[in-house]
Each structure stands twice: as structure tokens, then as C-alpha cells.
């Protein structure tokens, strides 16, 4: 007897069976599950009162506030499609995304209000920009008289990713996919009604890897955090008895270093889930020394966030730290809910041998994989050629069935957990009148893992300094995307005239730890 | 991007990512996941070689052997529908079920071979009775060239339950339902790749509450056990490092008493999941004294086994043993995957108030609930009146959202976790020529929780002794269903002539602990 697979049921259940338990901690404010549900219903009601109807895209720009969490139910409860925006982007980039998804309503945290008002003229479809969340909730009522009843295959959220091309692509999640992935996170990380989850990961990031729904499903507690700050994180871990958090290795390291330099250990068990790059031995050592457990997962926005996990094996506990770091650095095995839908394929889409040596492309399919790119059938078809999603990541398959990435999708720079399309950065550089050609690749960085580095060939007789070019870029793209190193000179080319990016990368990574992720 | 929800993927994944890990322990034999998969493929292949095709029902009669586990994949891999039989039934009862489901193939453990051959003439559709499992596997090959590709809503297994009427009803599970329920068990009980699961629950019992699939999904280890024996269980818990097991409270108590009388504690954490009746304070005390954690769940065969759990709250830990027992005796809240699809309804199917006092009937719907009764549209329609499955169990809803059963479906006796239809027992008694009328109700029993007790009115001038009547029943129905107490005399009646079973029950339960489950 089927019922619809949708994360909407998670909040409804927790509001029913855990009415009086704390759902949300936001500084001094606490909401029970009953209150959280009422707020989400009021939000849905308020959106309807604005004129929003089922199928409308609702864009959201906010740090990890109650609003950023509540939209994960408030929007779908009235049938809307949630579009979380990356607050690290510049206003023109945000306007591009808002236009592409066709949002009529933009919910913007007050700190972004002015910035978005400035580009309002570039967003002709936007009818409302709402920035006072509490006042907006007051315009709605709870319970919502007739919550939207979705089909499980309906479009649920869109997450824009820079992907491997210069223009963002809107990754479409369905109710069913989000439901199953939330269960998957719960199962892989042992979430229970005693889970206290600290929001070190941005909620806009791939819908927080589905953790808004996963933590709510089990009746755990969301502890909100607006920015990664060691002191504040320490206070919350100790004061709220945090059990789980997620973040890029740089976040894990920040927390571990903060505790270590104060000679402190964690007050109790804490699981830190990390992705974006494999945790280095130093990170694993630092985390284990303060008493934390690090889980290494891997995925893309297109796979609703994590899809594989380096499932730990008891027999590995006896290894040295270095051995354990080598094992932990593997991307591992498909989630239980991923089944056998993670593969490493040769160019003919045949599985590579499980020899730990033969490179192939990581391909995925199934319930862990997006519906497609919003209004972009060409990119969708390209991504799903042969019936599998092509990650662009190259990996080996070990004899024990674990995958390990050996080279990243070649044109992506991952800086502090954020994807940066090198092509997009190149485009910004190329806009400068003195530039002839440009190649952007990842350079190693002690703090961010990677930063973009640019190799630039100038037009004959023209000149520009690195400082001038960097400033030029900062006017066009988000600061974190701008090249942190710029070198001038002719680019190395292949026989067919393509830039040899591998050669540039090798130049930058020489003497550094082998680049595996 | 949808993929089919089916437990078939669980074994395929574990055979891929946990190839060399131990999947099954059966006495001195151990099978890795690669071996388990190969055996299941050989089984499917062998069934095909017999002529079995997709849609065929395959009946299985066995204690907890490798065969009883392997059929949970071997049968669906060739598209068959698995029908596990209760080995506590008598041959004529089993023949009735085999005929009702129309099985062409019966896989019977050697110990039941002769018994089933004796009724073979009554099972005209059965073409093959296979009792040498290892020899049968040899007739198949692995890997299976073209495994059956089910749709997720397809019929997967049938479990016959005595229900509330005299004839067994075949509860139909789908691939989707079994998949989701297995994930649900994993999530509620924290199953991981380190889970060592001891099979104290019969595998025939509602497909072992979906644990064959749940334990395999996470890559845990199945430790098989043919019968509940304290000494053997102790050896396995200690020798195999068991982490989880399931059973009726009588099983939990057997284990706890066994350890306690030897002055032993458990060597490590052990979660014991119990259902069928709420664990009594004595059971909870005994289990906690040896270091075990008891989880109380509730459900029916129609809900794929457990659908609610008395989700423990940290704030209850400070209660006295008696308080904790009162809390633990609640059936609790719907599983995460049950969402809000568990309700307590008044006769007009409106939710009762959450006052801990108003009685209503527990009703369920959704992915946790069966497709219907096999070839029994009338019983299906009756069970699903108003769009919800009617459990027949009466409960209250507490203010905190937890349900608590106050009276069981009135005609069912639950003995050692097994359902016994009082109507079926009454029919057997009524077959005796001296009997005028009979009423069977549950009597309290220190070991089994409940046993059937019969109140019998004789025909004028006729006589029969209790011993003769008991022997008469044992020739007709399973021994465990036969009345353990028989009293003669006229039955109390209502004004309209119906037997007042409540009065009989009160007579039996006077002075006993209040009957709550």
C-alpha cells in the first residue's frame, strides 16, 4: 500500500510524536517540533497570500538562519520549488540564477537585501523580495488548511552548481530522491532522536547534503550557526552537546585545531562528516586527538550530496595512523540506498578491473541521482550519456570493492569545499583587453586545500600587472573564485592546440603531497 | 532518476563492496557475501531448471538454515514469490496453505520431508518437493545469466497469518514495501556493517520482520540458530560477538535468565528487539542486569512486522525501574518510514484525543502496510475499510504522542510470539461429537505470555473428558494451538445470544497483572 515518499512527512511525524522536543536552537531561541511545524505552515501560508502557487520557484539567500531551515518545508508545503542561493556569489551571478529559475519570490536575509535590490532591475520576474522573516511569518497562519500533496517524482528543489562549464546548472531534486537520501544519511551516520546536529555546513550547499530532512526525520535537534568560527563552535559543542556535524576538511581542521591549541578534548562522542577532498593524515590525527570520529564521504550536487562513504572496517583499527589515513582517504563504497549504482567505467562504459590501478570515470545512477538540469536538456543529455550520470571524476577500484579518486574532474577547483569552475574564472580574465589566453587550474593551499591559479598569455605589446588583473576579476566574479596566483607567459599546448593543463598542474603540485581525491 | 526499490539490490551491493566479509555463520560453516550471492544465484538457476518461472509461488518449510535465509533472494532472483511456512503447523494446515497459494515447488528441510510427503496427495499442484538443499544448489549455476527485473510494486512474498478468522490469510509484501521496511529496521535499530545478528526469531515469521534484508543491506553478519536454546545462544553471543537479536519477550527472558543464573553478564553491547507483548518489568530488569538493551516494537504481519517503536527518551533514564517499565511497555511512535501513517481512530475514523484514556483502534496505511490478502478480496476490503488497515487492536494515545495498546484484537491468543486464532481452535473443538459450543480465549501463562484456554458446553447426555478433547484437538491442529486449559459448563451469553468472551477473560486474568498490550 504505497504512500508518497516525500520529506514533508518527516516534519509532520516529528511534530506529532516529538511535539515538545527541541527541534531548533538558534542562539538564545529554541523551537520545539510543534513550533517548527507551525512556523513552516505559516511560511507556506504567507507565500500563498503573496500569490505564489504550486510549481513556482522560490529563491532563498541566507546564512544558516531559522528561515534557511524552515524553507525546506515552508516552500514545498505550498507546492513551491525551493532554490537555495550561494551567498558567496556576487549580485550579478545571483541575478543570473534567479532569472534562470524564474523565481517570482526571493527570500533574502536582511544582510543581502541592499545587494539584491541593486540588481532588482536585472530580475524582471521577481515580484517580491522578503527580508523580514518574522514579520512575513506573521502574515501567514497555521495550520495550513490544505497542504500541497505532491507526487513523489515531482520537482522539489533546484541547486545551482558551477559544474564544469562556465554557466551554473540547476540540479533538480525530487521528493522521492530527497526522502531516500535523507534516510540514507540517517542510516550511514547513525542519526537518532538523540542527535544534536551542528550546522557548520551551509544550508544552501546542496540542501545541506539532505541533513535538514535527515535530522528532522529522526527527531534530532538542529543547532544553527551562521559562520564557521572556532570559538563559537566550541561553545555550541560543549553547551548543546553536539553529536554530529558536516564540513569540508578545512572546517574539520579548524575545529580540531581550536580544541587542540586550548588543550581541550571533546566532552563526548562527535561524528564529523567530511567531503570535498579526502581528509589528510594531519586532519585525521588532529580530529582523533580531540576525540572525534571522522567519516569521509563523496558525492556531487548531482547526487544529492554524498553517495559513497569510506565505510570503516574494524580490522583497520590496528593500522598505523598513516595506514588509517590511506584507507580513510578512499571515497569508499556506495551508500546502502545507492545499491550497485556507483561504478567506475572505462570509456566504453565497461567496469574497470578491481585492481586498484586502472583508471576509470565514476558514474552513478538511480535514486541518489538528480532528475536532470533545470531547463537545460542539452547538459542533461550530455551528463547522462549511456544512461549513467558522468561525474567527471577519475578513480580506481580496489580489490576490496572500495573506490578511490585519483584525479578530479580536470577543470574544477575545490576551495574550502566550494566548486569553482576554472572556465568561468578564465572567462573573467579573458574579458581584460590585454589578455590573449588564460588557463586556470587548482593550486595547493594549506588552508583551503585548493585555490585557483591563473596562467596568462598577454596580447603582443599589451601589459597588465597581476594586481590589476586580480582587481579586474573581483569586479566580475565572487572573491573566492578569483585567482590567488597569477603567472604570465605563453601556455604549453598540445599538438592540436589545446592547453596542456596537466603540465601546469604538475608545475604547481611538485613537492606537494600527491593530489588524490 | 529512479531505480527500483527492491531488497535484491541489498545483496548485490554487499556482494560487491563486502565480498570477503562473513555474511552467514551456520555452526562451523561460514559464507562470505560473495559466496552467499553465488548460492542465491545457484538457487534461482536451479529453480528455473525445474521449470519454475516468474510469478510462481515457491513454498519453503524450514528452521533457520542457510536455505531459509537464501530463499529470500534465490526465489525473487528468478521472479518467484516466496511463501515461508510456519513449521509449527500440522501437515494438513500446511497443505491448505500450499494449495491456497498454488505453489508448484516446495523446499522442505529434511526433517519435514516425510510429513509433507504424507499429504502430497492433498497438494495436487505441487510438482517438486526438494529437501536436499546442497544437492539442489549443485544443479544450478552462478552468476545467474539474467536475473529477474521486478517492478517495485510487484508481489514479492506471501506470509500466511491466522488473523482473526479461522482460515489463514496470505499477507502480500511488495519489493518496495520490503525495501523500505528493511531500511526502517536498519535506521531504528542502528544496524551497521559491524552488526552481528543472531537469528532467535524464526525466519518464517513475517520474513523475520524484514531482518534478512536489513542485515544484508548494511553488510552485517547473520548467525543462524535452529531453535531457542539458552546454552547455544550463550555460546553464540560470546563466540560470535552478537550485537542484535529479535524475539518475543519469552525469548528475551530465556536469554536473560540463562545468563543471570550463571552469574554472567553479556560480553558487550547487545540490543534485543521484542514484540508480540510488551516486555514486563521483570523482563526489563533481567535484561538490563545482564547488560542488554531492550527495544519494544509493535506491528502485525500485515505491517511487514514492526511499525511502531517505543522510542526511548533520554529523560526517562532517571526513572525507577517500575516507571521505566511503564514507559517501555508502550507501543510508542510510528517508525520514521511510517511517517504519520499510524493512527488511533474512533469508530467514525476520527483520531481519538491524545489524553491517554480514550480507546480507539490502531489503524495503519502506507509503505509499511501490505498490498492485501492473496486471492482474498473480501478480507482485503474488510481490512482496509475507509482506506486504512484495521489492526483490531485497541489503544490509547498519550499526550506525548505515544500509543499504548489496552486490549488486543479480541479473538487472538498470542503464545510465545505466535498468533493463534481462537476461532480456529474453537472449530477443532466443535468437531467433536459431544461438543455443543466452545469459546477459546487467552489465559495468562508465566512462560508463553498467553496460552489458549477453552470453555466448552456439552451436548445434553453426552460426555468427554478434558484429556480426550485435548487429544482430539492435537490430531487436527498444531500442538501449540491446542487449549492448555479446558473447563466445562454453559457459556455466558449476551442478550442477543453472543458469547461474552470478555467475562471469560476476566475470570482467567483475575489477580494477574493487568493485561496490556
User: Residue B72: is it exposed, middle or buried by C-beta count within 10 angstroms (0-12/13-18/19+)?
Assistant: buried
The three-class DSSP label of residue A355 is coil
Cα separation, B62 vs A157, in Å, equals 48
Inter-chain touch A366–B186, beta carbons under 8 Å:
no
Work out the percent of chain A whose per-residue pLDDT is above 70: 96
pLDDT digits (tens, 9 = 90+) for A13-47: 999 999 999 999 999 999 999 999 999 999 999 99
What are the mean pLDDT values of chain B's consecutive 10-residue runs (517 residues total)? 96 95 97 98 98 98 98 98 94 95 98 96 97 98 97 98 72 98 98 97 96 98 95 96 92 89 90 84 83 94 96 90 86 96 95 91 97 97 96 90 77 80 81 86 88 90 93 91 92 70 84 46
Task: Pick left, alpha or beta for residue A209 (phi over 0 → left; psi -120 to 50 → alpha; otherwise beta).
Answer: left
Cα separation, B94 vs B236, in Å, equals 31
Q: Is A193 on the interface with B (CB under 8 A)?
A: yes
The pLDDT score that the predictor gives to residue B315 is 87
Tell me which fold the domain B8-227 belongs to: Rossmann fold (3.40.50)
Q: Could you give the angle at which helices A33-50 and A66-77 cross, rounded to 10 degrees?
A: 60
| B residues 281..300 contacting A (CB < 8 A) | none
Decide: A112 and A61 in contact? Cβ < 8 Å: yes
Decide: B166 and B421 in contact? Cβ < 8 Å: yes
- Pick the closest to residue B206 from B75, B52, B82, B47 (CA basis): B82
Mean predicted confidence (pLDDT) in A245-250: 89
Residue B323: asked if its preceding bond is cis (omega within 30°), the reply is no
**Residue B1: which of A16, A186, A371 has the nearest Cβ?**
A371
Inter-chain touch B12–A340, beta carbons under 8 Å:
yes
C-alpha cell at A363: 558514474
The pLDDT score that the predictor gives to residue B512 is 64
| B residues 346..405 contacting A (CB < 8 A) | 365-367, 369-372, 384, 389, 400-402
Decide: B230 and B252 in contact? Cβ < 8 Å: no
C-alpha cell at A334: 556506495
The pLDDT score that the predictor gives to residue B405 is 85
Inter-chain touch B19–A401, beta carbons under 8 Å:
yes
- pTM of this prediction? 0.86
- Per CB-CB distance under 8 Å, the chain A contacts of B219 are 311
Residues carrying CATH 3.30.300.30, chain B: 412-509
Please tell me which residue of chain B has the smallest CA distance to A188.
Answer: B192
Inter-chain touch B339–A2, beta carbons under 8 Å:
no
Please tell me which residue of chain B has the smallest CA distance to A185.
Answer: B187
Cα separation, B454 vs B465, in Å, equals 13
| N-term to C-term CA, chain B | 43
**Residue A17: which of B176, B192, B333 has the nearest Cβ?**
B333
pLDDT digits (tens, 9 = 90+) for A106-165: 999 999 999 999 999 999 999 999 999 999 999 999 999 999 999 999 999 999 986 445
Pairing relationship of beta strands B360-364 and B389-397 according to DSSP bridges: antiparallel
- Pick the closest to residue B403 from B323, B478, B333 (CA basis): B333
The pLDDT score that the predictor gives to residue A241 is 96
Q: Is A261 on the interface with B (CB under 8 A)?
A: no
Mean predicted confidence (pLDDT) in A477-490: 92
Task: Pick left, alpha or beta for residue A184 (phi over 0 → left; psi -120 to 50 → alpha; otherwise beta).
Answer: alpha
Mean predicted confidence (pLDDT) in A484-513: 79
The one-character DSSP state at A385 is G
Pairing relationship of beta strands B485-488 and B449-458 according to DSSP bridges: parallel
In the A/B pair of chains, how many CB contacts fall below 8 A?
121
Residues carrying CATH 2.30.38.10, chain B: 341-407
The domain A412-509 is placed in CATH, from the list 3.40.50.150, 3.30.300.30, 3.30.360.10, 3.40.50.2300, at 3.30.300.30
The pLDDT score that the predictor gives to residue B101 is 98
Q: Which of A17, A243, A338, A341 to mutate: most B Cβ within 10 Å? A: A17
**Architecture per CATH, B341-407:** Roll (2.30)
Residues 6 or more apart from B179 whose CB is under 8 A from it? B5, B6, B7, B9, B10, B152, B213
**pLDDT tops 70 at residue A517:** no
Inter-chain touch A1–B193, beta carbons under 8 Å:
no
Amino acid at each position: 500500500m504505497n504512500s508518497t515518499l516525500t520529506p514533508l512527512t518527516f516534519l509532520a511525524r516529528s511534530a506529532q510524536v516529538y511535539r515538545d522536543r527541541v527541534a531548533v536552537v538558534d542562539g538564545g531561541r529554541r523551537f520545539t517540533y510543534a513550533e517548527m511545524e507551525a512556523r513552516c505552515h505559516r511560511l507556506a501560508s504567507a507565500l500563498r497570500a503573496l500569490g505564489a502557487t504550486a510549481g513556482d520557484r522560490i529563491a532563498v539567500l541566507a546564512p544558516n538562519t531559522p528561515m534557511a531551515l524552515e524553507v525546506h518545508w515552508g516552500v514545498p508545503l505550498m507546492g513551491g520549488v525551493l532554490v537555495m542561493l550561494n551567498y558567496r556569489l556576487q549580485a550579478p551571478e545571483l541575478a543570473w540564477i534567479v532569472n534562470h529559475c524564474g523565481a517570482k519570490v526571493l527570500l533574502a536575509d536582511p544582510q543581502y537585501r541592499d545587494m539584491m535590490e541593486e540588481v532588482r532591475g536585472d530580475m524582471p520576474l521577481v515580484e517580491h523580495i522578503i527580508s523580514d522573516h518574522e514579520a512575513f511569518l506573521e502574515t501567514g497562519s497555521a495550520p495550513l488548511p490544505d497542504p500541497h500533496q505532491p507526487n513523489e517524482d515531482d520537482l522539489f528543489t533546484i541547486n545551482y552548481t558551477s559544474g564544469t562549464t562556465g554557466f551554473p546548472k540547476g540540479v533538480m531534486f525530487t521528493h522521492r530522491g530527497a526522502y531516500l537520501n535523507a534516510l540514507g544519511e540517517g542510516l550511514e551516520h547513525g542519526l537518532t532522536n538523540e542527535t544534536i546536529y551542528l550546522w557548520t555546513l551551509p544550508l544552501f550547499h546542496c540542501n545541506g547534503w539532505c541533513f535538514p530532512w535527515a535530522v528532522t526525520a529522526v527527531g534530532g535537534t538542529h543547532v544553527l550557526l551562521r559562520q564557521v568560527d572556532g570559538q563559537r563552535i566550541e561553545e555550541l559543542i560543549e553547551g548543546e552537546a553536539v553529536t554530529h556535524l558536516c564540513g569540508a576538511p578545512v572546517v574539520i581542521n579548524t575545529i580540531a585545531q581550536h580544541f587542540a591549541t586550548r588543550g581541550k578534548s571533546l566532552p563526548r562522542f562527535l561524528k564529523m562528516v567530511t567531503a570535498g577532498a579526502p581528509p589528510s593524515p594531519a586532519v585525521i590525527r588532529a580530529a582523533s586527538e580531540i576525540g572525534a570520529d571522522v567519516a569521509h564521504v563523496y558525492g556531487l550536487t548531482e547526487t544529492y550530496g554524498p553517495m559513497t562513504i569510506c565505510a570503516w572496517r574494524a580490522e583497520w583499527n590496528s593500522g598505523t595512523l598513516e595506514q588509517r589515513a590511506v584507507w580513510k582517504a578512499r571515497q569508499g563504497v556506495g551508500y546502502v540506498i545507492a545499491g550497485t549504482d556507483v561504478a567506475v567505467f572505462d570509456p566504453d562504459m565497461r567496469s574497470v578491473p578491481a585492481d586498484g590501478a586502472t583508471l576509470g570515470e565514476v558514474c552513478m545512477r538511480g535514486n541518489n541521482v538528480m532528475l536532470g538540469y533545470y531547463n537545460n536538456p542539452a547538459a542533461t543529455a550530455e551528463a547522462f550519456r549511456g544512461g549513467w550520470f558522468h561525474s567527471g571524476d577519475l578513480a580506481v577500484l580496489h580489490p576490496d570493492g572500495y573506490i578511490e579518486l585519483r584525479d578530479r574532474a580536470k577543470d574544477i577547483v575545490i576551495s574550502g569545499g566550494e566548486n569553482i569552475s576554472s572556465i568561468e574564472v578564465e572567462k573573467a580574465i579573458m574579458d581584460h583587453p590585454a589578455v590573449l589566453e588564460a588557463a586556470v587550474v587548482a593550486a595547493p593551499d594549506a588552508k583551503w586545500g585548493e585555490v585557483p591559479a591563473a596562467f596568462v598569455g598577454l596580447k603582443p605589446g599589451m601589459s597588465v600587472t597581476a594586481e590589476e588583473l586580480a582587481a579586474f576579476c573581483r569586479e566580475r566574479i565572487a572573491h573566492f573564485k578569483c585567482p590567488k596566483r597569477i603567472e604570465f607567459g605563453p601556455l604549453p599546448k598540445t599538438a592540436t592546440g589545446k592547453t596542456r593543463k596537466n603540465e601546469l598542474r604538475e608545475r604547481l603540485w611538485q613537492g606537494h603531497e600527491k593530489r588524490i581525491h
